[in-house]
């Protein structure tokens, strides 16, 4: 055996493997981001143990103004172990340092949770990973923050919305929103398979009604013959004024199928001119649950028995109106923001924490002082599966050559 020759072969294989490793794992360090801040989440505002929860981070920060890119591309978030956290920037103003960002926090509980925000990298591209912020149960997330043109779904489902008639630059609960004038205003979000939900469901939105003179649709998937997949609205349990109760309904509403119609109404009534966080959930054939401002509210089934299956239909999901015969009806008059649809019944803890976070994000978190980053701390390494396979193959070849 030629020991010298084998040694040369071994060196070649080892160098190749190490080279691939260097290609796979960026050797940048956290010091490439000049600054960081700790963000502590107030555990008293977290209702229970939650996984992969999208936390709204809201601040106006002079340090971000002075040290972050004007685009906010260099803003990124990690957990306390430097594992990257997916985030979506809904709004950033480099002149003022105002930031509205959604961060997917892996675990929230009654214990304190601290994450870190990094910034101060003048050359990097965007660090956002928008779709990954929203877990797989989210089928549509509409921030309604686009001031012109289409409204874009933040999930991977691409259930984008086409506005008609709405004022898109309205003041929202979180950044921008849409103002609906009560004529034919609506946002059509299409009829993708992901929106045809017949099992567990959550529909939610922030709403500020200007008037409640009639039925007022918030989120509707209702077609021409009134076969309704799901519908969240303000309405009346008697069919006449006042139309001030929150209702969730589904099924057939016209003869001869009216026996399949189901309407669940809150006992409480609501007024105009203020923001409400309204959520309806349903699991299987259970009666729905309606939450207003993070708390479950008492209600009753005012039509049907509210235990019947939900039925898929071919109608589009519309925000701010239903559709009958191709014409918008029961149009909402007021402002709607942050519309979400999930194919699971979110828990009471999830909904309560969402309200606490979104209603007053500045009290939900405490932002620490700016710190310079420590040199030499590894950046959040990633290694793709093909590269891992290649390295493994190189190692096996090396071992095989040694045995020959």
At 133-171, the pLDDT tens digits run: 999 999 999 999 999 999 999 999 999 999 999 999 999
Tell me what the mean pLDDT of segment 266-280 comes to: 98
Return the pLDDT at 341.
Answer: 99
Return the pLDDT at 252.
Answer: 72
Return the pLDDT at 227.
Answer: 83
Q: Where are the domains of the chain?
A: 3-25+384-403, 30-134+360-372, 138-343
- DSSP 8-class letter at 29: B
User: Ramachandran region of residue 330, left (φ > 0), alpha (ψ -120 to 50) or beta?
Assistant: left
Q: What is the SS3 assignment for 115?
A: strand
Backbone angles phi, psi at 101, to 5 degrees: -135, 145
Band (17; pLDDT cuts 50, 70, 90): very low
Residue with tokens 């620490």: 368
Q: Which whole-number Å values give the CA distances from 189 to 99, 134, 157, 181, 297, in the listed order?
A: 27, 18, 11, 18, 28
CA distance 88 to 134: 10
User: Ramachandran region of residue 304, left (φ > 0), alpha (ψ -120 to 50) or beta?
Assistant: left
Sign, Cα dihedral of 303, 227, 213, 219:
positive
Backbone angles phi, psi at 9, to 5 degrees: -60, -45
Which distant-in-sequence residues (6+ apart) come within 8 Å of 275 by Cβ? Answer: 173, 206, 207, 208
Q: Considering only 17-21, 31-35, 42-46, which range has the smallest mean pLDDT?
A: 17-21
Residue 388: asked if its preceding bond is cis (omega within 30°), the reply is: no
Looking at the predicted structure, is the pLDDT value of residue 380 above 70? no
Tell me what the mean pLDDT of segment 348-364 comes to: 98
CA distance 144 to 153: 9
Return the pLDDT at 111.
Answer: 86
Backbone angles phi, psi at 221, to 5 degrees: -125, 75
Residue 7, both tokens: 């040694």
- DSSP 8-class letter at 224: T
Return the pLDDT at 112.
Answer: 87
Tell me what the mean pLDDT of segment 183-199 comes to: 96
Residue 156: asked if its preceding bond is cis (omega within 30°), the reply is: no
Looking at the predicted structure, is the pLDDT value of residue 13 above 70? no
C-beta separation of 290 from 297 below 8 A: yes
Q: Where are the beta strands (DSSP E) in 283-321?
A: 289-292, 295-297, 299-303, 318-319
Residue 242, both tokens: 């006042």
Strand partners, 203: 280, 341
C-beta separation of 171 from 336 below 8 A: no
Tell me what the mean pLDDT of segment 96-108 comes to: 98
CATH class of domain segment(s) 138-343: mainly beta
Q: Which pTM value belongs to this model?
A: 0.86
């Amino acid at each position: 055996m030629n020991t010298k020759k084998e040694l040369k072969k071994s060196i070649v294989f080892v160098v190749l493997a190490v080279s691939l490793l260097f290609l796979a794992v960026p050797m940048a360090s956290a010091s490439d981001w000049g600054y960081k801040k700790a963000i502590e989440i107030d555990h008293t505002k977290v209702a229970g143990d939650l996984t992969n929860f999208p936390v709204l981070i809201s601040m106006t920060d002079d340090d971000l103004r002075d040290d972050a890119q004007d685009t906010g591309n260099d803003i990124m978030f990690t957990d306390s172990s430097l594992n990257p956290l997916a985030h979506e920037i809904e709004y950033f103003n480099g002149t003022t340092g105002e930031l509205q960002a959604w961060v997917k926090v892996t675990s929230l509980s009654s214990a304190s949770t601290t994450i870190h925000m990094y910034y101060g990298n003048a050359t990097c591209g965007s660090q956002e990973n928008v779709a990954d912020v929203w877990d797989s149960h989210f089928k549509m997330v509409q921030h309604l923050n686009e001031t012109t043109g289409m409204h874009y779904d933040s999930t991977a489902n691409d259930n984008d919305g086409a506005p008609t008639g709405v004022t898109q630059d309205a003041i929202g609960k979180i950044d921008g929103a849409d103002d609906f004038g009560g004529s034919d205003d609506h946002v059509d979000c299409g009829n993708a398979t992901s929106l045809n939900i017949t099992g567990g469901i959550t529909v939610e939105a922030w709403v500020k009604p200007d008037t409640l003179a009639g039925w007022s649709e918030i989120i509707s998937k209702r077609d021409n013959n009134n076969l309704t997949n799901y519908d969240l609205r303000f309405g009346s349990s008697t069919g006449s004024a006042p139309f001030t109760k929150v209702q969730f309904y589904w099924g057939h509403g016209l003869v001869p199928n009216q026996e399949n119609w189901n309407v669940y109404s809150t006992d409480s009534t609501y007024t105009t001119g203020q923001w409400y966080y309204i959520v309806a959930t349903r699991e299987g054939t259970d009666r729905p649950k309606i939450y207003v401002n993070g708390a479950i509210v008492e209600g009753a089934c005012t039509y049907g028995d509210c235990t019947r299956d939900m039925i898929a239909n071919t109608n589009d999901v519309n925000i701010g109106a239903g559709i009958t015969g191709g014409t918008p009806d029961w149009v909402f008059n007021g402002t709607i923001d942050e519309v979400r649809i999930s194919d699971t019944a979110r828990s009471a803890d999830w909904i309560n924490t969402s309200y606490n976070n979104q209603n007053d994000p500045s009290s939900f978190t405490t932002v620490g002082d700016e710190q310079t980053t420590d040199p030499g701390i590894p950046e959040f390494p990633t290694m793709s599966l093909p590269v891992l396979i290649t390295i493994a193959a190189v190692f096996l070849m090396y071992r095989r050559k040694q045995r020959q």
